[in-house]
Structure 1
């Protein structure tokens, strides 16, 4: 098998067809066509991929039966034993001595043993009943299943509905579900509007549906009227201090080299621009450490963006996906939201959202950015936003979007715009600090200065006060 060190070339190139054909044939089927749907590439370590295929099963459906769509997953690992592998019986492993490739038919993901128990309408009802969860008033009514997301080997989220009632089924590696349930209980007890856990069992967590609708939909339809920026900050401030004791959630900017490497491996022409981005983000954050405390003082969500927030009638009513709640910096969460929204707004340039939607999102970004920059340092906010955008640049290739190369370049450009904004913010801050220093060294005239309307108390020259003044200077 010809391959790169991490298997990415093998799983994303023409050779993947041979692997899939062998796996399908080993199960008694015939592969007619295949298309790469999703790839999770960790350069130098491993690659996981998801494929949409057309397969016929002569022994099951008869020799004349038409082909049907099937999903297949594949994983390539280099020189180390696969971790957290739970069910391997329905997978096929192929090797050439250097690299092992494991192929499976969805939903028999070897890392997610509960996935087959919730993917089929006739089985999910029994699974929920065994866990004491009942949907609609008529248990015999059909259950509809929608796959919200699936990351091979990592997690899946499905929505099961029956006669207007719905629950969300979060499937993960079994060793993680107990921790996730505990987090939900602790946050609910603190008054954070996260989904209620209805049941759970070894890698499956059943969550009650939140009220309202996702901010991702509301901001496109309503723009800044979807909710107030102050309410978004207040939602994060409700995260309880007790969660500060859990393991540190590294900020996205800690991994900018990693994400840049992924993007550069898929679009090599972007290499010089990615190198410059990484350098400016690193150097910018390093400079901030010279004038402010950069330690993690807050409890953060860890992946705070518009799809995770639910709103209703202009109010924030829910928060999803709290797996990464823990110690961090408030700027990380606020930057994560701005980064995602800025990529969404840029979709208007490619025609993926219409101009009116684009303008509503851009207005929301501008308004909420002003609010956020009053709470955290504006330079840090912009640099952290650039780092998150850079992580999003891995998405078009991973999700195999149409024209993913152009989409990747567009996201890199958005990251560059955030870095430019950080430069402007830092220049304004340094100018203000220089002016303040010059004024403090001015000779005394014997005249008493006019007192400000609000007296500054000792300590008000802290970074928080500096950020407030800086925001006024920038308008």
Structure 2
């Protein structure tokens, strides 16, 4: 078990769901759930201080018929949950909802997308390849989204499972961007289930290409051109909040789970004004990083996850890319090619946007990514978090000392 944060009066279930006591919560609902939990390991946390917690667990269970299984289990408190999950309330009125993957009440299409027969039938009705389908869950964020890979003899399809209310907007975004960008082709969608079927794209992620030290990588100018190819959006399109605009949220979480970080968080807060700029608003990806760009032999062949596209500043996209790469370099077994590429990116991007603003924005991207170790419950998450915050300060001070200096 990793370090626990302090108690939170607004989320009474916090310490229970983050500790070994979580087993007792599932045990209390054993009859309603229909299984007994034998092992439970915390895998991912989404915690909003004073408001809510959603915890995902790896598990080993015994079903009512005696069979064993290892599903993902979820427990949530402080959020509104549709009908379906088992819910327990203690004498103080604290309610904890529990479910077994894929029975996520917010993602009604997840059960269909992860069942071989139902997925094949769904893909056939959507007009996507469905023969000999083999399923693999590639991502799951409880209550929010999942990605399921469906590989068959006719090719591979990715099913993005969302809350049904978000599907139409995603489909419209793909329709708008497809003529301009190498994004996955939408093969069909189900509003009722909240599923969009996407074609598989060729190539590998830029991150993987860099970590493998391939000799050919996309020129920074090619990445800039990719972003500049995005079409204009209407003036009422959603505004993308850059990382420095979300620093209050990030610092609230980090300061709550790690009170000893208060000093370094306050240091970073002083740099928020330096991230403001007078750039013209344009269409931005909103979550542009090295795992969103697909490459082949140094050429860009794909751009994925365009759910976040909106209006903002181009330096926000540049900073997202550099900040994510700087964080990857910290944990990579082969950081040298990544760091070298960051240098090339800065050399190019400095001619396109204000260099001090860019570096300051990179600092706040890294600070936002400092929430990651706690979210995935890394074994030494406090140490990992502090290292990321220290790197963020280095980027902020580099911008302050010299407009073209690097940490």
Superposed pair shares fold, TM > 0.5:
yes
CA contact (8 A) 1:39 1:47 kept: yes
Counterpart of 1:386 in structure 2 is: 363
Per-residue displacement from partner, 1:238-262 (whole Å, max 9, x unpaired)? 1101355411111121011210121
Q: How does 1:68-79 map to 2 (within 5 A)?
A: 68-77=69-78
Counterpart of 2:49 in structure 1 is: 43
The answer to whether the aligner puts 1:212 opposite 2:189 as a matched pair is no
Give the Cα–Cα distance (whole angstroms) in 2 for the partners of residues 91 and 329 of structure 1: 44
The answer to whether the aligner puts 1:181 opposite 2:171 as a matched pair is yes
Q: Which has the larger radius of gyration?
A: 1
- Provide structure 2 residue ranges, at least 5 long, that are not aligned to the other structure: 1-6
CA contact (8 A) 1:198 1:206 kept: yes
CA contact (8 A) 2:10 2:50 kept: yes
CA pair 71-337 structure 1, distance change in 2 beyond 3 A: same
2:123 counterpart SS class: helix
1:419 counterpart SS class: helix
CA contact (8 A) 1:168 1:209 kept: yes
CA contact (8 A) 1:4 1:10 kept: no
Q: Report the Cα offset of residue 97 of structure 1.
A: 4.3
- Provide structure 1 residue ranges, at least 5 long, that are not aligned to the other structure: 348-352, 427-470
CA contact (8 A) 1:243 1:299 kept: no
Counterpart of 2:329 in structure 1 is: 345
CA contact (8 A) 1:244 1:298 kept: no
Moved over 6 A (4+): none
Counterpart of 2:9 in structure 1 is: 4
The answer to whether the aligner puts 1:89 opposite 2:84 as a matched pair is yes
Counterpart of 2:3 in structure 1 is: none
CA RMSD of aligned residues (A): 2.0
Q: Report the Cα offset of residue 409 of structure 1.
A: 1.5
2:213 counterpart SS class: helix
CA pair 33-161 structure 1, distance change in 2 beyond 3 A: same
Corresponding residue pairs, total: 397
CA contact (8 A) 1:378 1:425 kept: no
Per-residue displacement from partner, 1:97-133 (whole Å, max 9, x unpaired)? 4432111111101110000001122331122123222
Q: Report the Cα offset of residue 385 of structure 1.
A: 0.7
Q: Report the Cα offset of residue 91 of structure 1.
A: 3.2
Q: Report the Cα offset of residue 161 of structure 1.
A: 0.5
Q: Report the Cα offset of residue 28 of structure 1.
A: 2.8
Per-residue displacement from partner, 1:19-43 (whole Å, max 9, x unpaired)? 1222334223221121111000111
Per-residue displacement from partner, 1:295-322 (whole Å, max 9, x unpaired)? x511100000001001112111111111
TM-score normalised by length of structure 2: 0.92
Give the Cα–Cα distance (whole angstroms) in 1 for the partners of residues 135 and 94 of structure 2: 36
Counterpart of 1:20 in structure 2 is: 26
Counterpart of 2:391 in structure 1 is: 414
Counterpart of 1:298 in structure 2 is: 282
Give the Cα–Cα distance (whole angstroms) in 1 for the partners of residues 154 and 326 of structure 2: 34
CA contact (8 A) 2:85 2:97 kept: no
Per-residue displacement from partner, 1:238-296 (whole Å, max 9, x unpaired)? 1101355411111121011210121222222222111111222x2423xx65xxx25x5
Which structure has more relative contact order (CA 8 Å, sep 6+)? It is 2
CA pair 99-27 structure 1, distance change in 2 beyond 3 A: closer
CA contact (8 A) 2:233 2:310 kept: no
Please say which of residues 403-412 and 330-339 is displaced more in the overlay: 403-412
CA contact (8 A) 2:87 2:95 kept: no
1:60 counterpart SS class: coil
CA contact (8 A) 2:41 2:58 kept: yes
CA pair 244-388 structure 1, distance change in 2 beyond 3 A: farther
CA contact (8 A) 2:129 2:152 kept: no
CA contact (8 A) 2:32 2:86 kept: no
**Of Structure 1 and Structure 2, which has the larger fraction of its residues in helix?**
1
